[in-house]
Structure 1
Amino acid sequence: MNLCRRLWKYILISIILYALIFLNLDRIRTFSSESSAIEFIEIPRNESKTNSFIAHFKDQNHSYQFLTVPKKLCTNNTKLQITILSTAGNFDIRQAIRDTWANPNNSKHVLNNDVRISFIISAVENEFLSFALQKEIEKYDDLIVTSLYESYELLILKVHAILSYKQNYCDSADFQLKIDDDMAVDMDGLFDSLSDKRLANVDAISGIIWKNSPPVREKKHRWYVPTSLYSQKYFPPYIDGPIYLIGRNIIPKMLEEAKNYNQWVIEDVFWTGIIAKALRIKQINWSTHLLRYVIELIPSRLKCSKGKPLIYAVHNMKGPIMIHDGYKKLKGVKCE
């Protein structure tokens, strides 16, 4: 008897659920079509510019597009183009950056358009996330959205997109800064360093230089490099990936030279090491001006030099709270 009651109960619930779904099918279809039909902001049209690009390598090619770019473009006044590597879901982190070091109220150079700051992300298929991104684009106008697939293994392509964007949408700027979204920056301190030829050059790459780094030969490691790709005992000197500055003159040369090499996984070794060595690009060491870990945010490191704060960026800021805290400490240094 109890079994029959349970059976009838399940049948009744099934009928009710079916009726609800059937009766609301048109509403569900309408919602689905409206949500998925998200249109990114139209890219500014220019006869001399193309929206389709190909990342050429010796062993393979990848075509991609910029689905949207900021409406506010670089001007003749723009000296530095900053492109921040981010992922679609990192809304809170992007907002923390906008509220701190990328905020025009906190930097005279951002306010004056001496610096253009954008985030680069890949498009997503999730309709709710796409809708949120569309609202973010409309509100802030600072997202570069590519058709590239989001993957650590394909960061080399994202950097290709950064260089292509610089060349096609901000060519007049002297420098391109590639930076990850887990960094806090003293924006004006960094910008002012660009006028020092010992720290920045339009024919050079600046950042923390790594030397005598051996390739990882363990196949399961994320940084595995087979001998068929690179057989030497050590990588050539390269610039640490979280932040590096590239001079305007070498960007087209780097994109062209990449065609002569197979595609890599480790983007910083490839672009700032392998390619830089082939082109004999000068590397400028910023190790005294950058901190790699949050634990280095201590008074003994946050010193002054010639009346200005010595450190202008710190890496490994895990989350928006740390970005706010790191920025506050960088800007809290008082120099006489």
Structure 2
Amino acid sequence: MNLCRQLWKYLVIAVILYATVFLNLDRIRTFSSEPSAIQFINIPSNESSNHLFTAQFKDQNHTYQFLTLPKKTCTNNTKLQITILSTAGNFDIRQAIRDTWANPKNSMHVANNDVHISFIISAVENEFLSYALQKEIEKHDDLIVTSLYESYELLILKVHAILTYKQHYCASADFQIKADDDMAVDMDGLFEGIGDKKLASVDAISGIIWKNSPPVREKKHRWYVPMTLYSQKFFPPYIDGPIYLIGKNAVPRMLEEAKNYNQWVIEDVFWTGVIAKALKIKQINWASHLLRYVIELIPTRLKCSKGKPLIYAVHNMKGPIMIHDGYKKLKGVKCE
């Protein structure tokens, strides 16, 4: 009796295994016939796929590659390069941006390539996620993929990659914007703004300026700054990290100056504060044109100035729905 039970048990297991393999055979064949999901390399023909760049600081160096670059590049017509910090898994957020403020149907400047928009992410080792990214690259052609490790502590390296990309692949553009992927932007309003010499200069950095900010000295805090790294009571004035504009003349100077400083964790303080101060780069305040929180998306803030919308962008749009909503409100402002 026990022998019969054991035989019956093994028979059931065998049937389940057979059915599992048989029913998924087409899926297995399809996946195995695709190129390696991890190795997605799409470097333009005029570049070597093994071209290396180095984020060089006083205390350490990091060598990295651009594993994937968009085929559509900046042209002589491009005035503004926008690079959006994202992470590999944020598919829905990137799509929300493509559907709203980065959509050429919603902005003549994006359509005309006056503005070139890309996302920058780091490569991942999960083969299914990498496979999905490869499909996204093939469909949208707007991802810059680096070999850098993905972490908040290494955002300073990701910004280095943004500046390096600007310098090597979009050098003629007058301006570079670094933006987070939780922004909603009035693209045409922003583009008009950078045409105002009071708001933008090829030699300056523009954004919300923070002054008299003290370093955090608590060791367990994510923004901890040891005295050995920075000993002064306050940081130099710096530009708020979610979005800032850098003039083309400042980019190569900033990359070179970074070699004289130890590596930081707080990327906006480092690049737009410490480095900008050392180089005496002018900072232009956009506090009247940028909102930091969704609760500020209220009619009294979304007013007009000289017949044009006052606000160009809003931060802290957490998720696709909020990006769509924030964009709709920004574009809903009617100026007479």
> Does TM, scored on the shorter chain, surpass 0.5?
yes
Q: How does 1:1-336 map to 2 (within 5 A)?
A: 34=33, 37-38=36-37, 39-46=39-46, 51-336=51-336
Give the TM-score of the pair, scaled to structure 1.
0.92
CA distance in 1 between partners of 2:244 and 2:231 (Å) = 26
CA distance in 1 between partners of 2:127 and 2:318 (Å) = 27
**Contact 1:35/1:127, CA 8 A, preserved across alignment:** no
Unaligned segments of structure 2, at least 5 residues: none
The verdict on how the C-alpha distance between 1:97 and 1:8 changes in structure 2, with shifts beyond 3 A counting, is same
- 1:152-203: CA deviations, max 9, x gaps? 1110000000000000000000000000000000000000111111100000
**Contact 2:123/2:146, CA 8 A, preserved across alignment:** yes
**Residue type at the aligned position of 1:54:** T
CA distance in 1 between partners of 2:34 and 2:45 (Å) = 26
**Contact 2:177/2:243, CA 8 A, preserved across alignment:** yes
**Residue type at the aligned position of 2:120:** I
The verdict on how the C-alpha distance between 1:17 and 1:186 changes in structure 2, with shifts beyond 3 A counting, is same
CA distance in 2 between partners of 1:279 and 1:48 (Å) = 32
Number of corresponding residues: 335
**CA-atom RMSD in angstroms:** 2.6
- Secondary structure of the equivalent of 1:246? strand
The verdict on how the C-alpha distance between 1:29 and 1:300 changes in structure 2, with shifts beyond 3 A counting, is closer
The verdict on how the C-alpha distance between 1:45 and 1:308 changes in structure 2, with shifts beyond 3 A counting, is same
- 1:255-293: CA deviations, max 9, x gaps? 111111111111000100111111111100000000000
**Residue type at the aligned position of 2:36:** A
Identity of counterpart residues, as a percentage? 78
CA distance in 1 between partners of 2:136 and 2:236 (Å) = 40
- Secondary structure of the equivalent of 1:83? strand
Instruction: For residue 46 of structure 1, report the CA deviation from its aligned partner.
Output: 2.1
**Residue type at the aligned position of 1:79:** K
Instruction: For residue 308 of structure 1, report the CA deviation from its aligned partner.
Output: 0.2
- Secondary structure of the equivalent of 1:84? strand
Unaligned segments of structure 1, at least 5 residues: none
Instruction: For residue 132 of structure 1, report the CA deviation from its aligned partner.
Output: 1.1
- Secondary structure of the equivalent of 2:124? coil
The verdict on how the C-alpha distance between 1:304 and 1:61 changes in structure 2, with shifts beyond 3 A counting, is same
**Residue type at the aligned position of 1:177:** I
Give the TM-score of the pair, scaled to structure 2.
0.92
